[in-house]
């Protein structure tokens, strides 16, 4: 399915990442945005609010982030592509009902423009310290998809991708942006609508009474039942069976959770997107994501100029973690280095997958500004010692 | 060879078509007010003769939260306190459908209190049925924002000393266009109120005072479910259009019931469409929701 030309601002633009995210959402066919103002994400909501009346959709500023997350789930069940955005404390508040989205297997997109934390932290300054919250922030067991744009162009593209993945896997998907990318203004090329591929929702073709909300539980992703057409289905945040009915015992939990987890674990290769550079003869690999993958560039260039064989692995999808690829690469290099704007989060995933095959280094940064490339360079030098 | 005797013909429950019979028996205690409240909703839907395909029911968590699971409608059992914002998103996506939120007092007014006042303020076209049993029942009988002063609960073992909410006053002052209160005893009047609420365009609120004999009555030694019904019978005062600042419910006091508010006011979507029309003129195509055919 191609994008609807009425939704796509085809052309060359000069946009910040947040505005580009909003355009990506509209291009993807998003017609409902529920949000609550929070720096540094608010421009996504503002642009959507400005643009959507004439595109044909609704922006609603809800009373809080709890409501925003719920409203997009409700609208999504109503048959409308829906999104929200937030940052910092708002992300914490959304976690409860992000979990509901997983449990009800509801498509939707949440853009988190990360700022420094914890608590109120640094409202106007960047961070990448919500990565583990993205992975584990709602209670219980599940798998997530999180995409990390490193430019306004990618904010546009990955927001579309997030919608596609959310429809394909029937789950809310995260775009884990950051304040730098969100507020960085660059050239954004918005292609023609016919060049934008969209994944549209798959509805059951069965008649009411012949199908259940999760009838493929354990086997695959069940086409959704449309509302208002007599299916009269039930869905619940409680542990449930293929019928969507609550079943409170260990056996049902086993089936339900394995199903939710497996629908990602069985498709990691399909979901994973990586940026690989100079890996063929690399002795050391610098891993990064989001704005940090821009910041590593001068350090890597300097080291390579000195003859150090530095390769780069950029995680466009941080979750699911590209475990297979990292294990494979760990066996070939002398060291791996993670550059992220936190005190060590995705680093531990890298270290886990390296599993003693290679030395692992972290270039941490508590946020507030990006790394000094000098510090990254020094860590590269230390790693190749 | 054994001979099997055919079981006697069992008469079908007349509301079966509105219930998920594969989930019956329900989890509610004998004499709980939820059964009659659900019956009132089912009767209201039947009497209104509306297309049941176009009705969706939402609930949060708690005893009342289970209603969505028993109604044979498109039904959503959401998280604690969040049925309203979930329903708000759904309603905006599908304004062609009737949206009914069934919620307990703790779910709706405590953890979901913020959503309640804002949904009423926006005048979203949603019907809220709040079953008020003065207590958190599902979790074992803890104090609620509606527990009358001096009532004993598991977490007010020495008697509640917090001021409770006056729900009709809260609903009306937040912007609800229809506000009524009945008890689980007033089945016919309650059914009528639910019918009016569903028909009303805008945020309509029906409070149902309901007995919880397992916890509220037991902890407060108020007798059986039947005793509570007798209490409602002897102590309810029907007073339509009552002054809402005087309808507080004290411990074992008189209960003022009736239809308190029934006014006209543009809904959220009416206002949005009018506002956008004002700004954009003919360029704006009035929003009518998602394609009903999905």
Residue B215's domain is classified under what CATH number?
Answer: 3.40.50.970
For residue B285, give the nearest of A34, A56, A237 by CB distance.
Answer: A56
Q: What is the CATH number of domain A275-383?
A: 3.40.50.920
For residue A71, give the nearest of B54, B89, B280 by CB distance.
Answer: B89
Contact between chains at A71 and B68 (C-beta distance less than 8 A): no
On whether residue B7 sits in a domain, the answer given is no
Position B9 scores a pLDDT of 78
Position B293 scores a pLDDT of 38
The beta strands (E) that lie in chain A are given as: 11-16, 32-35, 58-61, 82-86, 108-116, 122-126, 146-147, 172-178, 185-190, 234-236, 274-277, 284-288, 310-315, 317-319, 335-339, 359-363
CATH 3.30.470.30 fits A5-195, yes or no: no
- pLDDT at position B233 over 50: yes
- Kindly provide the ipTM of the predicted complex, given to two decimals: 0.97
Contact between chains at A63 and B79 (C-beta distance less than 8 A): no
Q: Which residue of B has its CA nearest to A73?
A: B86
Per-residue model confidence as pLDDT tens digits over B74-105: 999 999 999 999 999 999 999 999 999 999 99
Position B291 scores a pLDDT of 54
- Beta carbons within 8 Å of B247's beta carbon, 6+ residues apart: B166, B168, B169, B181, B256, B260
Q: Domain count of chain B?
A: 1
On whether residue B115 sits in a domain, the answer given is yes
- pLDDT at position B31 over 50: yes
- Take residue A194 and report the two structure tokens written for it: 């016919």
Contact between chains at B292 and A228 (C-beta distance less than 8 A): yes
On whether residue B128 sits in a domain, the answer given is yes
On whether residue B154 sits in a domain, the answer given is yes
Position B11 scores a pLDDT of 84
Contact between chains at A96 and B79 (C-beta distance less than 8 A): yes
Position A376 scores a pLDDT of 98
Interface test with B, best of A36, A214, A232 (most B CBs within 10 A): A232
Name every chain B residue with its beta carbon within 8 A of the beta carbon of A138: none
Contacts 24+ apart (CB under 8 A), B264-272: B264/B177, B264/B202, B265/B123, B265/B175, B265/B177, B265/B202, B266/B123, B267/B123, B267/B124, B267/B125, B267/B201, B267/B202, B268/B92, B268/B122, B268/B123, B268/B124, B268/B125, B269/B92, B269/B95, B269/B125, B271/B123, B272/A58
On whether residue B38 sits in a domain, the answer given is yes
On whether residue B286 sits in a domain, the answer given is no
Question: What is the percentage of chain B residues whose pLDDT exceeds 90?
Answer: 92
For residue A63, give the nearest of B74, B118, B290 by CB distance.
Answer: B118
- pLDDT at position B294 over 80: no
Position B2 scores a pLDDT of 56
Domain residue ranges of chain A, discontinuous segments joined by +: 5-195, 275-383
Q: How far is A154 from chain B (nearest CA, A)?
A: 28
Position B288 scores a pLDDT of 86
- All residue ranges of chain A with pLDDT < 50 are none
Section B153-166 average pLDDT = 98
- pLDDT at position B36 over 70: yes
Per-residue model confidence as pLDDT tens digits over B50-76: 999 999 999 999 999 999 999 999 999
Position B5 scores a pLDDT of 74
B265: domain range? 26-281
- DSSP 8-state class, residue A246: B
Q: How far is A82 from chain B (nearest CA, A)?
A: 9
On whether residue B207 sits in a domain, the answer given is yes
On whether residue B32 sits in a domain, the answer given is yes
Contact between chains at B86 and A66 (C-beta distance less than 8 A): no
């Amino acid at each position: 399915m191609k994008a609807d030309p009425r939704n796509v601002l085809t052309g060359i633009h000069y946009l910040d990442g947040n505005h580009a995210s909003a355009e990506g959402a509209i291009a993807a066919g998003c017609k409902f945005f529920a949000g609550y103002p929070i720096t540094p994400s608010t421009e996504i909501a503002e642009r959507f609010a400005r643009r959507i009346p004439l595109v044909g959709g609704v922006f609603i500023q809800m009373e809080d982030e709890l409501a925003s997350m719920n409203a997009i789930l409700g609208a999504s069940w109503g048959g409308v592509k829906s999104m929200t955005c937030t940052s910092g404390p708002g992300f914490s508040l959304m976690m409860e009902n992000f979990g509901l989205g997983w449990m009800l297997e509801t498509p939707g997109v949440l853009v988190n423009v990360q700022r420094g934390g914890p608590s109120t932290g640094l409202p106007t300054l960047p961070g990448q310290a919500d990565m583990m919250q993205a992975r584990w922030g709602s209670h219980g067991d599940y798998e997530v998809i999180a995409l990390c744009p490193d430019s306004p162009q990618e904010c546009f593209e990955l927001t579309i991708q997030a919608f596609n993945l959310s429809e394909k896997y029937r789950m809310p998907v995260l775009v884990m942006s950051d304040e730098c990318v969100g507020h960085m203004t660059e050239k954004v090329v918005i292609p023609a609508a016919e060049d934008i591929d969209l994944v549209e929702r798959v509805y059951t073709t069965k008649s009411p009474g012949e199908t259940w909300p999760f009838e493929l539980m354990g086997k695959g992703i069940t086409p959704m039942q449309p509302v208002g057409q007599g299916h009269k289905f039930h869905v619940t945040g409680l542990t449930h069976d293929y019928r969507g009915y609550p079943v409170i015992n260990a056996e049902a939990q086993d089936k339900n959770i394995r199903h939710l987890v497996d629908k990602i674990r069985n498709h990691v290769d399909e979901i994973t997107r990586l940026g690989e550079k100079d890996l063929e003869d690399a002795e050391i690999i610098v891993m990064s994501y989001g704005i940090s993958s821009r910041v590593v560039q001068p350090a890597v260039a300097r080291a390579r100029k000195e003859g150090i064989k530095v390769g780069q692995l950029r995680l466009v999808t941080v979750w699911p973690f590209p475990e297979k690829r990292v294990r494979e690469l760990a066996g070939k290099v002398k060291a791996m280095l993670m550059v992220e704007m936190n005190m060590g989060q995705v680093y531990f995933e890298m270290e886990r997958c390296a599993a003693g095959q290679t030395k692992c280094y972290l270039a941490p940064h508590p946020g507030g500004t990006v790394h000094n490339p000098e510090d990254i360079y020094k860590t590269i030098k230390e790693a190749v010692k | 060879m054994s001979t099997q005797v055919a079981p006697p013909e069992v008469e079908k429950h007349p509301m079966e078509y509105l219930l998920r019979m594969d989930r019956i028996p329900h989890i509610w205690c004998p004499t709980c007010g939820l059964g009659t409240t659900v019956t009132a909703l089912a009767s209201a839907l039947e009497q209104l003769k509306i297309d049941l395909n176009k009705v969706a029911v939402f609930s949060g968590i708690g005893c009342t939260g289970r209603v969505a699971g028993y109604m044979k409608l498109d039904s959503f059992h959401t998280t604690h306190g969040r049925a309203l914002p979930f329903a708000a998103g759904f309603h905006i996506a599908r304004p062609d459908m009737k949206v009914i939120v069934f919620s307990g007092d703790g779910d709706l007014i405590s953890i979901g209190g913020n959503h309640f006042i804002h949904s009423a303020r926006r005048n979203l076209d949603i019907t809220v049925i709040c079953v008020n049993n003065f207590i958190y029942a599902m979790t074992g009988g803890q104090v609620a924002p509606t527990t009358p002063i001096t009532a004993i609960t598991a977490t007010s073992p020495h008697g509640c000393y917090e001021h409770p909410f006056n729900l009709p006053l809260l609903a009306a002052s937040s912007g609800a266009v229809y506000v009524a209160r009945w008890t689980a005893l007033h089945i016919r009047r309650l059914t009528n109120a639910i019918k009016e609420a569903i028909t009303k365009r805008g945020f309509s609120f029906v409070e149902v005072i309901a007995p919880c004999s397992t916890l509220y009555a037991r902890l407060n030694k108020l007798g059986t479910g039947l005793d509570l019904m007798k209490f409602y019978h002897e102590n309810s005062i029907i007073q339509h259009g009552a002054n809402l600042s005087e309808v507080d419910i004290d411990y074992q006091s008189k209960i003022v019931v009736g239809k308190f508010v029934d006014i006209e006011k543009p809904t959220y979507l009416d206002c949005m469409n009018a506002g956008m029309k004002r700004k954009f003129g003919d360029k704006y195509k009035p929003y009518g929701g998602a394609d009903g055919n999905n």
